């Protein structure tokens, strides 16, 4: 019988890599919808709901602190290097740490805690769109030059400053919905993992 340890094992890190990559690919593919600025506000719900399916499968593998933190770090580094800068890195890291803490203090066998943990993880997604409000004029100049004036003006109209706060609420609600959808689709996995 394997000795129970709080340290992350090779198997844990493999799970981190697999599920982090899977979630990031889905997240990135959905993000391509930003080519249509009218879709942008709806992504605050779409992202966490769709990503909830692979993330709930991931949660059935998580029994130790640190796995979600590493996932947040991986996501943050990825988005840092594709142009979201330190804001993207910080958002994803904080979301990963917060979700890990919620899961640790709430226990790993309770679905209500899993829902709350994932909803907190989704708050970190704000690291990507936060650039719209905090990266400054240079960021908007890049959008104008790369996407065109019509795209940039439409996006500015759809994403006023209050959307930053509304975005957190939508991401949190989307996280709850995504967790519920994921559990429904992966019921057998949750039963096998003993998450009640």
DSSP-derived letter for residue 108 is: S
Q: Where are the alpha helices (DSSP H) in 43-161?
A: 43-59, 67-79, 85-106, 111-123, 131-134, 137-147, 149-158
Residue given tokens 């803490």 in the structure block: 101
Residue 117 token pair: 């943990």
pTM higher than 0.85: yes
- Residue 83 neighbours by CB distance under 10 Å: 12
Are the beta carbons of 6 and 65 closer than 8 angstroms? yes
- Return the H-helix or E-strand segment holding 86: helix 85-106
Model confidence band, residue 178 (pLDDT cutoffs 50, 70, 90): very high
Q: Is the pLDDT of residue 72 over 70?
A: yes
- Among 3, 2, 6, smallest CA distance to 67 is for 6
- Percent of the chain exceeding pLDDT 90 equals 81
Mean pLDDT over each residue of the chain, to the nearest integer: 92
User: In angstroms, what is the C-alpha Rg of the chain?
Assistant: 17
Question: For residue 196, what pLDDT is reported?
Answer: 64
In angstroms, the CA 184 to CA 62 distance is: 18
3-state helix, strand, coil in the chain (%, to 5): 85, 0, 15
Are the beta carbons of 128 and 140 closer than 8 angstroms? no
- The 10s digit of each residue's pLDDT in 6-60 is 899 999 999 999 999 999 999 999 999 999 999 999 999 999 999 999 999 999 9
Q: Is the pLDDT of residue 130 over 80?
A: yes
DSSP 172-194: HHHHHHHHHHHHHHTHHHHHHHT
């Amino acid at each position: 019988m394997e000795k129970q340890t709080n340290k992350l094992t090779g198997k844990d890190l493999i799970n981190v890599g697999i599920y982090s990559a899977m979630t990031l690919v889905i997240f990135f593919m959905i993000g391509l919808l930003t080519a249509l600025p009218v879709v942008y506000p709806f992504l605050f719900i779409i992202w966490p709901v769709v990503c909830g399916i692979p993330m709930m499968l991931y949660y059935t593998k998580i029994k130790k602190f640190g796995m979600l933190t590493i996932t947040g770090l991986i996501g943050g580094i990825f988005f840092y290097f594709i142009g979201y800068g330190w804001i993207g890195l910080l958002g994803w890291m904080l979301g990963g740490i917060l979700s890990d803490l919620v899961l640790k203090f709430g226990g790993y066998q309770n679905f209500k805690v899993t829902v709350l943990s994932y909803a907190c993880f989704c708050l970190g997604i704000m690291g990507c769109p936060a650039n719209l409000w905090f990266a400054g004029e240079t960021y908007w100049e890049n959008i104008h030059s790369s996407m065109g004036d019509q795209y940039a003006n439409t996006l500015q109209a759809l994403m006023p400053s209050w959307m930053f706060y509304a975005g957190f609420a939508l991401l949190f609600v989307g996280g709850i919905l995504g967790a519920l959808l994921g559990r429904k689709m992966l019921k057998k996995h949750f039963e096998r993992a003993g998450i009640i």
